[in-house]
Copies of this chain bind each other. A is one copy, B any other.
Amino acid sequence: MSDTLQPTREGDLTFAYGAAFRLEAGGSLQPVSVRYAVYGELNERRDNAVLICHALSGSARAADWWPEMFSNTPSHAKEARNGDPGGSVFDLSRDCVICTNILGSCYGSSGPISINPATDKPFGPDFPLVTIRDIVRAQAHVLDELCVKRLRIVIGASIGGMQALQWAVDYPERVEHCIAIGAAPLSAMGLALNHLQRKAIELDPNFKSGRYAAGEQPTGGLGLARGIAMCSYKSAALFDERYARKPNRTGEDPLRSVADRYDVAGYLDHQGEKFVKRFDANSYLVISKAMDTFELGRGYASEAEALKRIKAHVSLVGISSDWLFPAKDIRALVERLEVAGVQCDYTEFETSHGHDGFLAEMDAIAAVVNGSFHARRLAVVHKNVARKLGG
């Protein structure tokens, strides 16, 4: 028996047959497919829906990559039987959790590996640029299909958090509570790191300007991109704690040759090798660019005007050791939200796990989800530092 919670149902919504789905950056898609997964059941009033938004390399199957968010996973149930229920986040006897694969991805929604109707071949590098706004608008089509008018919670971390914020701005009537973890417009350093990752992919001779055949993708470049990203997802403290200056565990001697590695290098290479088996390089380019171009003010008079549209309560979560989305950038966004009159709270996780801390600090996330209005108190209970700005 699998230890993974299976969706109650999943499907692909395909729309924009008759008229093109116009993209914010100027291109269009016709039609558009969005893969979605539903965990639990919508109640009669359809007011128990939660939307989980995934990060760069996630999929619609939220329980596969964020199992801790579900109280009902087999492993969670086992812990509960042992008297340690852990942090309870979403309970499928109450909540209906929906997750959609984002545009540009390679996990079922329209993206570079999808067939381009104009050529009957995969789009590859001809897939148009998408933005977080486009991704959210496609998600709204899925919610319409499911007859969900309003979300109790929209939650995500990293690019998922960008989507949650974009939801609150673009569909103010449809969001009750927006929770964005480790997400803000990328700083210059974040833009720099994404750029270097894309360059790594493009440097690989197997990239062939994006026109590589299926099964012949630029694994060296994509693996290197993943390695650069991992450095920004983790923290120096965590690396020191786990790897220090130890030689690679496979028995290499860093003094023997340029190629002999330290343990942290072996770890990064291993992460790269795992990643290239499950992710497409062209998708990586498109989604990392969507991450770059996230700006809540675009399409509105200003960011301030965009934020004023928000009617949801907004919970922002910063991660103390996050290098990709520094906590200070999240706090700055909280300040701008407060200036715009948005009801919001801020929790800061003290962790050495870096940006990936959102996967490692589930108790604290449970506290934010279950009691965001008391986030400060609960977060302290959970031994995390919580700060409420401006109040």
Which residues of chain A have a CB within 8 Å of any CB of chain B? 24-26, 125, 129, 131, 185-189, 191-193, 195-196, 198-200, 203-205, 220-221, 224, 227-228, 231, 235-236, 239-240, 242-245, 254-258, 261-265, 268, 285-286, 289, 292-293, 295, 323, 326
Contact = CB atoms under 8 A, between A and B. Distances in A.
Contact of A239 (B188, B285, B292): B188
9 contacts: A188-B239, A188-B244, A192-B264, A195-B262, A196-B227, A200-B200, A255-B293, A258-B285, A258-B286
A26 B255 CA distance: 9
A329 B228 CA distance: 22
B240 A188 contact: yes
A199 B272 CA distance: 12
Contact of A236 (B189, B200, B286): B189
Contacts of A240: 187-189
A203 B197 CA distance: 13
A228 B289 contact: no
Interface SS majority for chain A: helix
A129 B25 contact: no
A113 to B, nearest CB: 16
List 3 A-B pairs, minimum CB-CB distance, nearest first. A188-B239, A195-B265, A189-B236
A235 B205 CA distance: 31
A22 to B, nearest CB: 14
A185 B240 CA distance: 12
A203 B224 contact: yes
B245 A185 contact: yes
Given A239-B188, A255-B25, A286-B258, A220 B203 contact: yes
Contact of A193 (B25, B231, B293): B231
B205 A239 contact: no
A258 B188 contact: no
Contacts of A203: 200, 203-204, 220-221, 224
B191 A257 contact: no
A129 B257 contact: yes
Contacts of A261: 195
A289 to B, nearest CB: 5
A17 to B, nearest CB: 26
A206 to B, nearest CB: 9
A236 B188 contact: yes
A256 B286 CA distance: 12
A33 to B, nearest CB: 22
B188 A268 contact: no
Given A192-B264, A231-B189, A239-B188, A295 B245 contact: yes
Given A185-B245, A236-B326, A258 B198 contact: yes
A258 B289 contact: yes
B188 A245 contact: yes
A17 B256 CA distance: 25
A265 to B, nearest CB: 4
Nearest to A267: B192
Contacts of A326: 236
A336 to B, nearest CB: 14
A268 B200 contact: no
A7 B268 CA distance: 44
Nearest to A195: B265
Nearest to A223: B199
Contact of A187 (B185, B239, B254, B257): B239
B192 A268 contact: yes
A371 B239 CA distance: 37
